[in-house]
A and B are shown apart, each in its own frame.
Chain A
Amino acid sequence: MKVIFSLDGKTKEIQTKTGATLADILKAEKINLQTGLIKLNGKLTHPTTELKDGDKLEFVNIIYGG
């Protein structure tokens, strides 16, 4: 199945296996959950939630340097 993934204003389509979770996508993208918020279809969502085909996933980076 395919999901739409956004990070820092950049969007891409990701092909993933059925039953994949938000946490699986973050792991594949090498993103540390501690550094931001994960939203599914615009809402804050638990990382172990299973994705559906066509879901829109967004990672909001909250950690900035300095």
Chain B
Amino acid sequence: MVTCTKCKKRDAVVDLGYTGSDLCSPCFIAYFEHRVFKTNREFKLIQHGDKIGVGVSGGKDSAALLFVLTKLTKHVGAQLIPILIDEGITGYRDKAAEKAQALCDKLGLTLHRLSYKKVFGISMDETVKKRDKVKWRGACSYCGVFRKHALNKAAFDLGCDKLAIGHNADDMAQTILMNFLKSEPARFMRFGAFSGITERDKFVMRIKPLMYVTERECAIYCTLRDLPFHLQECPYSSDSFRGELKDFLNSVEEKHPGSKFNIIKSFLSLKELMVAAPVSEKELKHCAKCGTPCSGENCKACLLTEELKNAPQGQLKNRK
């Protein structure tokens, strides 16, 4: 048995390769919460009086996020509003939603729900059936755009000042690498602890309090805290570029602990230089249909919804 390097009393249950430490359950929980509190202080994410929407899915990341933020907001003096977006994926989101509801009940919070069906007039189950008649896109291409749009709408309608999402260090490192590999420097300007277009009508700024904790640490935290969370692969998930980078980064992290955090730190340093010499971006407009800030005449969610509405009914074969 390995003894906890922090308290030097209890048996360690977690090895944190990038710090060289081995922690027992109470010391890991304290470490995890300290990282999130420190991130909040460093970037001034949640401040006194804020009304914070929290995107919850029933998964481990958002479960960890909601639980830590209940502690943090009590300390800071802010209000939390959990929001669940129901994509309409039978046998998947309904099960995850039960876990999200159970967590909210445990924390004494009201869970607000909004469905794709209500916002876009079409569920993900229906989207997948229709998309092959349009042009091939992975299900995640629709779902990613729809979820972001629906979460923003719910947070805006509920009067939230900010929207906290469960993006962790893994998500951050993947996105940074994706932007590099796709050569999209302009996206860097909108990415970070805060993301999206700031100070825009109808837009609620997204914040990432979990950016300095890993996906694995979120799962460990939920397990040690005995939080209800759902672990199941989405039936429509497909092999994606992000998925490839996820595998790559986990291999690198195993051999070179701390690599994920180093990518984030390097990016933040580069971003400071980019702020000094800004990358040109398209002028922002508002979607002619829904009013959401966007770069074209219509936002991506409205374009995809219209595309699906005009498509004949069809069934996708042999593709996820």
B219 within 8 A of A: yes
With both chains docked as a complex, state the minimum distance between the C-beta of B66 and any C-beta of chain A, in angstroms.
Answer: 18
- By a CB distance below 8 angstroms, the chain A residues around B1 are 46, 49
Docked-complex contact A46 and B13, CB < 8 angstroms = yes
| CB within 8 Å for A46 and B242 given contacts A33-B254, A62-B215 | no
A44 touches B140 (CB 8 A): no
Interface size counted on chain B using CB atoms at 8 A: 34
The answer to whether B253 touches A46, judged by C-beta atoms less than 8 angstroms apart, is no
Assess the A44–B243 pair: CB atoms within 8 A: no
Quick one: CB contact mask for A22-66 with B, threshold 8 Å, 1 for yes? Answer: 000000000011111100000111111100000000001111111
Q: Is the CB of B234 within 8 A of A64?
A: yes
Given A44-B223, A45-B13, A65-B238 contact (CB < 8 Å): yes
A48–B234 CA distance with the chains assembled, in angstroms: 32
Count of CB-CB pairs between chains A and B under 8 Å: 69
Question: A37's contact among B2, B25, B216, by CB below 8 Å, is which?
Answer: B216
Q: Does B12 contact A (CB under 8 A)?
A: yes
| Chain B residues with CB below 8 A from A65, complex form | 233, 237-240, 243, 246
Question: With an 8 A cutoff between CB atoms, is B14 at the interface?
Answer: yes
- Complex Cα–Cα for A63 and B231 (A): 9
B253 with A37: CB separation less than 8 A: no
Distance, CA A42 to CA B220, complexed state (A): 13
B126 at the interface (CB under 8 A from A): no
Q: Which chain A residues lie closer than 8 Å to B242 at the CB level? A: 66
Q: How far is the CA of A62 from the CA of B231 in the complex (A)?
A: 7
User: What is the chain A residue whose CB lies nearest that of B12?
Assistant: A46
A36 to B11, CA, bound (A): 20
Within 8 A of A (CB), among B1-28: 1-2, 11-15, 22, 25
Q: In the complex the two chains form, is B15's CB within 8 Å of A47's CB?
A: yes
Instruction: Decide: B140 and A66 in contact? CB cutoff 8 A.
Output: yes
A14, chain B: closest CB distance, angstroms: 21
What residue of chain B has the Cβ atom nearest to residue A47's Cβ?
B15
Q: Give the one of B219, B234, B242 with max A CB within 10 A.
A: B219
Q: Nearest B residue to A33 by beta-carbon distance?
A: B254
Interface residues of A (CB under 8 A from B): 32-37, 43-49, 60-66
4 closest residue pairs by CB, A with B: A66-B237, A65-B243, A64-B233, A34-B250
A-B residue pairs in contact (CB < 8 Å), sample of 18: A32-B250, A35-B216, A44-B13, A44-B14, A44-B223, A45-B13, A46-B13, A49-B1, A49-B2, A62-B60, A62-B215, A62-B216, A62-B231, A63-B215, A63-B246, A64-B233, A65-B238, A66-B236
Give B residues with C-beta under 8 Å from A: 1-2, 11-15, 22, 25, 60, 140, 214-216, 219-220, 223-224, 231-234, 236-240, 242-243, 246, 250-251, 253-254
